[in-house]
Amino acid sequence: MMRLYAVTGALPRDLDTEGWSVHRAGSLAVLHAEVAGEEPGEEPGEDETHEAAMVVDGQRLVRLARQVTLLPVRYGSRVADLPELEALVADHRDAWERRLAAVEGCAELLVRVGEPAVRAERPVSGHEYLRQRARALEQGERRWDGLVELVRPWARELRVLSAHRRLAALVSREQVPEAREAVGAWAGEHPEIDVTVTGPWPPFSFCEEPRDGE
Amino acid sequence: MTMTVERVPCAENVALVDLVDRLIDGGVVVTGDVVLSLAGVDLVYLGLRLVLAPAQEVAPGLSSGRSSR
């Protein structure tokens, strides 16, 4: 079995892939590794579910993404053999080339927004509680909209990962510090909300074409 | 305070959570085929789209009450 890690454009011959193999297919390359113990009837390898191995692979992807434009493959994706991999590349070549062009030179920033404090005042009645909660949610929505608009100028693309909770922004690598600083300043103006920014990540959330409204 | 991440005591943990979340819930989704077999006899052929997702997104109540590793 071959575990797939990333799809890239043409790779420099001297690139250190940190042990991953490279399958070159025209303008594309796929980073992969042979995995043992996953044949039918065998127990999965120890690393199959091991979070530490996942983190190591993820960090390897992060390092490689600083050097080349890549599309991470969803973790755990496998093909049986080389012919299956070649067929996969042939099926997805056009889409992958389009997305590689879309994410070139960019990284993903994740902005996570905490739950707004909706019970700052002790409700005196059910009606009062609902009124306070509605007000808090409305404020939370307005702040979320403000945050999205704040990030938008830096983002080539945006994805809302979970409504009013996490936002993924595809940002030029050069502008990552500026974008982070802007979100940090915004958070400083809204101390009642927990906002965290992580990244730069490989473009995990931008491997597919944007849907309408994104 | 310029970076909000500084307000969070375990910023590295937040980053790790985001990394793992994106690894299993982001990225290129590949299609594949599988044949379910029993005792060496092929029973069912399925064309599938394999999607791994965090359990809490598939079933929000599933992870409640479970300790995290």
The pLDDT value recorded for residue A191 is 83
- How would you classify residue A76: left for phi > 0, otherwise alpha for psi between -120 and 50, otherwise beta? left
Give the separation between CA A174 and CA A168, rounded to whole angstroms. Answer: 17
Cβ neighbours of A97 in B, within 8 Å? none
Q: How confident is the model at residue A193 (pLDDT cuts 50, 70, 90)?
A: confident
CB B26 within 8 A of CB A207: yes
Measured CA distances, A182 to A31, A95, B28 (Å): 35, 33, 30
Of A174-178, B22-26, B56-60, the one with minimum mean pLDDT is: B56-60
Min distance A32 CA to chain B CA atoms (Å): 14
Cβ neighbours of A92 in B, within 8 Å? 28, 30
What is the percent of chain A with per-residue pLDDT over 90, rounded to a whole number?
A: 55
B43-69 b/e (C-beta count within 10 Å ≥ 16 → b):
eeeeeeeeeeeeeeeeeeeeeeeeeee
Q: Which of residues 84-143 of A touch B (CB under 8 A)?
A: 84, 88, 91-92, 96, 108, 110, 112
- Look at B30 and A40 and tell me if their CB atoms are within 8 Å: no
Q: Would you kindly state where each structural domain of chain B is located, as residue ranges?
A: 31-59
Min distance B31 CA to chain A CA atoms (Å): 8
Q: Which two tokens stand for residue A31?
A: 């980073």
The pLDDT value recorded for residue B39 is 56
**Residue type at position A128:** E
Where exactly does CATH 3.30.70 map onto chain A?
Answer: 106-206
**pLDDT mean over A104-109:** 96
**pLDDT mean over A75-104:** 93
Q: How confident is the model at residue B69 (pLDDT cuts 50, 70, 90)?
A: very low
Predicted confidence (pLDDT) at residue A124 exceeds the cutoff of 80: no
**pLDDT mean over B32-59:** 53
- Look at B28 and A205 and tell me if their CB atoms are within 8 Å: no
3-state SS, residue B59: coil
Assigned CATH for A106-206: 3.30.70
Q: Which of residues 33-52 of A touch B (CB under 8 A)?
A: 40, 51
- Look at B26 and A74 and tell me if their CB atoms are within 8 Å: yes
Q: What does B18-43 look like in DSSP terms, one character per residue?
A: HHHHHHHHSSBPPEEEEEEEETTEEE
- Look at A76 and B37 and tell me if their CB atoms are within 8 Å: no
Q: Which of residues 154-183 of A touch B (CB under 8 A)?
A: 162, 180-181, 183
Q: How confident is the model at residue B57 (pLDDT cuts 50, 70, 90)?
A: low
Partner-chain residue, chosen from B14, B32, B52, that has the shortest CB–CB distance to A196 = B14
**Residue type at position A149:** E
